[in-house]
Structure 1
């Protein structure tokens, strides 16, 4: 195992702690103009979220409307339903529906649910996801962020895990705290993204990011901090 990956796992409770976990629940507020820009403003706001730790499955219950969204990678389906269970929108093989899309393309409700689902699941199970079958991780050249130097883990994901794109970068400070990730979502035309962890909490030995700001990334890997297209704020996080 890569030395940086091992150190990150040790700093996050150790692999044995993650192996005992089955689900993660949280109340998440999704903010920023991205949701409206994509034609789905109702996806902003608070949702109760439940994610399975060892398989790519996640459920959202939107506060206020009671709308329920479920993404199941094993079945390769996403479903959006009313609080009473009536299906509003659904997709089989949702990722394939984005073929040919650029960053300006509007999304259906099921497409938006898929994007939010795979992304949130991924965020909740880091860094355990780096040890899953077929994932390759290794340290690359460090990165200077202001006056700080961050170590960088390059992670490549197999097709068995839906995520933003195949190879993503993860940045850690001197205390091995997770500070940033870089990716380019293929579902959004490969838009370069710099995703910052602004706040975290310690929960039973696990370091859990609770405030995330997502920015456009410039060609030189610096972020455009002038605006924040997406924010995530987590509360009431629990690991079962």
Structure 2
């Protein structure tokens, strides 16, 4: 494993501790301009998110005012009722975003796909870097708001579906993540700068509770507005 990857993972609690668990559940509060832009201003504003730590799967409950349950995996997304009855499903969901731009609205299944894919990535980082086939390349340091952060360019293998195959993580001297950049392929490749803060210790794992995502410019600098997505996590449990 890349030495810097090892440092980052160790700073967040280490692989040995992480591998004691198979799922993460948290109370989720979300805001930002994206949800209204996509036609779902309050569907996932307050919900509970659960992600698998060993395979790519995530769920939100309740999903919308009908209190549905979503199920995301790379090749399928579905919405079920409280009794577990599948109400809608979509196979090969990523293909349905072809030709989308940032302004293209999503249906509920597409929203479930995006939210599941995003939260699975966020809540499995940085331990996802230890996945077989993930490549890490050191980039020059980055200065922002009077701080200097180290950077790694991350390339995911084909069996991991995320916002984009190539992403960049920023971390401080202690190895804690500060920022995470990617291009949202299913929204026309929209570039995002994702800021990470509010670390707490949960069962021996360092987990950030606050995230803010802003537009990213061509020079790598973020714009102060609009706030694209805000994420607040609480009641985090590893099982």
Equivalent position of 1:10 in the other structure: 10
Q: Is the 8 A contact 1:5 1:138 kept in 2?
A: no
> Residue 41 of structure 1 aligns to a residue in which SS?
coil
Please give the TM-score of this superposition, normalised by the length of structure 1.
0.94
Equivalent position of 1:216 in the other structure: 215
User: What is the deviation of 1:213?
Assistant: 0.5
Q: Is the 8 A contact 1:33 1:230 kept in 2?
A: yes
Equivalent positions of 1:1-240 (< 5 A) are: 1-62=1-62, 65-73=66-74, 76-240=75-239
Q: Is the 8 A contact 1:137 1:155 kept in 2?
A: yes
Please list the CA deviations of residues 184-226 of structure 1 after superposition, one character each: whole Å capped at 9, or x if unmatched: 1100000110000132212233110101001000111111112
> Residue 190 of structure 2 aligns to a residue in which SS?
coil
> Residue 223 of structure 1 aligns to a residue in which SS?
coil
Q: Is the 8 A contact 1:65 1:83 kept in 2?
A: no
Q: Is the 8 A contact 1:181 1:196 kept in 2?
A: yes
> Residue 43 of structure 1 aligns to a residue in which SS?
coil
Are residues 72 and 163 of structure 1, via their aligned partners in 2, closer, same or farther at CA, if it must alter by over 3 Å?
Answer: same
* Aligned equivalents of 1:44, 1:58: Cα separation in 2: 14
Q: CA RMSD in A?
A: 1.5
User: What is the deviation of 1:80?
Assistant: 1.6
Please list the CA deviations of residues 36-55 of structure 1 after superposition, one character each: whole Å capped at 9, or x if unmatched: 21112242311112211010
> Residue 184 of structure 1 aligns to a residue in which SS?
strand
> Residue 218 of structure 2 aligns to a residue in which SS?
coil
Question: What runs of 5+ residues in structure 1 fail to find an aligned partner?
Answer: none
> Residue 168 of structure 2 aligns to a residue in which SS?
strand
Q: Is the 8 A contact 2:49 2:59 kept in 1?
A: yes
* Aligned equivalents of 1:90, 1:184: Cα separation in 2: 26
Please give the TM-score of this superposition, normalised by the length of structure 2.
0.94
Question: What runs of 5+ residues in structure 2 fail to find an aligned partner?
Answer: none
* Aligned equivalents of 1:106, 1:41: Cα separation in 2: 11
Please list the CA deviations of residues 130-188 of structure 1 after superposition, one character each: whole Å capped at 9, or x if unmatched: 11122111321111112111010111011211100011000011222211000011000
User: What is the deviation of 1:85?
Assistant: 4.0
Aligned length in residues: 238
Superposition misfits of 4+ residues, deviation over 6 angstroms: none
Of residues 34-43 and 125-134 in structure 1, the stretch that sits farther from structure 2 once superposed is 34-43
